[in-house]
Structure 1
């Protein structure tokens, strides 16, 4: 009888230990960022990760893995054990456009192996214009000038097939103008510099990071790519106001391997949503002009993702861009 009691005690302790070990999260969580440090997506994740840490009781570590249109970061996440300890943050370029236009470059089945957990945020974009030998001072003047000079207005983007490449081509098609593309893989700061130097005439820029050069008079803000006016650019109309139906900012969202248990996904989602509602995130986001946009549920995230994929598939069908091999 005594031996039986000892055996039962050992089994009970072992069971309790296993349960404690199984409780998520029991170790640090890694979030892979498909861009370098200081990028808009990186900034969002670092702000949110810092506030997720006390909620989850574990560090949320940010790892930058840029390259291959976001595929390197996505595949590292998707190939990891689906236990909630490796996540990925993405934006429309990496997690919607890349799986559409570079589908053959993936070594995974993106649609089956990746799931969106929650939206995180949106950063408004500004249609900026150089002041170097470029007369237009308003959006209307820009359209008129481009129509009078087809193919002579140059616009910068962060690369062929990027979301701001497609955004500008879609806008040009809608407005009935022809622009010349100047890709620059140097990122947002590089295309802002292209406008400051006059190498390019217009570009869609991060509203926060470009504010300094706009306020300094080195660039003009012609319109805001958002569905609502930005207080810091109060006198600048939105493209929605100007009649363009697809004026979207640069969103970010959190992803996980699709085989991750639903209860773990929900823990991650709730932690991210709680972090987004914190005073610390609100203050940091305001400084960067970032708007929090959490998903109400995993189902809500999936519905939004389906609509976003449908939108970008339509854009890529209508806007023909010659992509690199």
Structure 2
């Protein structure tokens, strides 16, 4: 019995020692998207700060595919030692589990939240030459001519698509969704007038709103965007409960030592408060910095899993 007790105490001491020394070698940060996208840009900013703060290299690796599921699954099945992390966004964590018939990971059981990084929302925009001049105009037209108004998105299940479906449900209208293979194509067609409207990310919409090429009727989050302070929320315009936002955050494989998670959370929180990080992310076009506790991030994931499950069911969205 004494031998067993000593062995257990030794094991606990070694675990604590390993956590104290963390990180003692390079850390892989997996981004489940192509290089150059929103999640990739944010991750590279933070990875450099973590390298500076924790004294080991945080190396960003892109593992895109299957709407972010390949890279997410890779981390979910990785060794939980703190040396393989996931820099993910909303889609793979809270949308895909309801959008797809089968997902190879469980976002709650297979991953442990470290810290949310950012939140961003969408702007409901129309081309500058559109005959629509308000959200009320848009809804009146949609009701009088069902299916006439078209909106684009980066694809089925993308944030812009889900925002459009939520608008159709809440306004009891029929809107025609046009899925693209990426946000750039949808943005090009709204600028060219081929689409009636779209919910574009504030990150990409702001430059065109400021230049006068697009007009914004509303933003999709619970509060106004700091990048578009004069544009009301959907809720302000009468659509109570209309909240569609996207988040980015850091997660680790389930079973990662709590001391390591705390070390990472503390470092991320400090990095996200640095003035140059705040300035850089603001300049990217409207990211809201949200670096809270692991528990805060876990609650967000649970809440949005439930919200998107209900929306996807109510809108009868299916992957084709």
TM-score by length of 1: 0.87
Say whether 1:83 aligns with 2:81: yes
Structure 1 position 230 matched with structure 2 position 225 = yes
After TM superposition, the structure 1 = structure 2 runs for residues 148-227 of structure 1, keeping only pairs within 5 Å, are 148-186=144-182, 188-227=183-222
The superposition leaves residues 130-172 of structure 1 with CA deviations (integer Å, 9 ceiling, x where unpaired) of 245x310222211112112210111111111223222210121
**How far does residue 300 in structure 1 lie from its aligned partner after superposition?**
2.8
Alpha-carbon distance change, 315 to 138 in structure 1, aligned in 2, over 3 angstroms: same
1:276 deviates by 0.9
Looking at structure 1, the residues matched to 274 and 242 of structure 2 have their Cα atoms a distance apart, in angstroms, of 30
User: Within the alignment, does 1:291 sit opposite 2:303 as a pair?
Assistant: no
Structure with higher Rg: it is 1
Q: How does 1:110-149 map to 2 (within 5 A)?
A: 110-131=107-128, 134-149=130-145
Change (3 A) 1:301 1:231: closer
Q: CA RMSD in A?
A: 2.2
Question: Structure 1's 110 and 123: CA in aligned 2 closer, same or farther, altered over 3 A?
Answer: closer
Q: In 2, are the aligned partners of 1:70 and 1:95 still within 8 Å (CA)?
A: no
Q: Following TM superposition, where does structure 1 have runs of at least 4 consecutive aligned residues deviating by more than 3 angstroms?
A: 18-22, 108-111
Q: Report what 1:5 is aligned to.
A: none
1:308 aligns with 2:308: no
Distance apart, 1:178 and its partner CA: 0.8
Does the 8 Å CA contact 1:51/1:280 hold for their aligned counterparts? no
Q: Which residue is equivalent to 2:35?
A: 37
Say if 2:122 and 2:160, in contact at 8 Å, map to a contact too: no
Can you list the C-alpha shifts for 1:180-231, whole angstroms capped at 9, x where unaligned? 1110112x22211120122222111121322222222222111111222234
- Which deviations, in whole Å up to 9, do the C-alpha atoms of 1:76-117 show, x marking residues without a partner? 1112211111111222212111122225142x4444212222
Retained in 2: the 8 A contact 1:115–1:258? yes
Q: What does residue 6 of structure 1 align with?
A: none
Matched, 1:48 2:43: no
Q: Equivalent residue of 1:265, what SS?
A: helix
Report SS of the residue matched to 2:203: coil
Distance 1:32 1:103, change over 3 A: farther
Q: For residue 248 of structure 1, report the CA deviation from its aligned partner.
A: 3.2
User: TM-score normalized by structure 2?
Assistant: 0.88
Give secondary structure in 1 for the equivalent of 2:165: helix
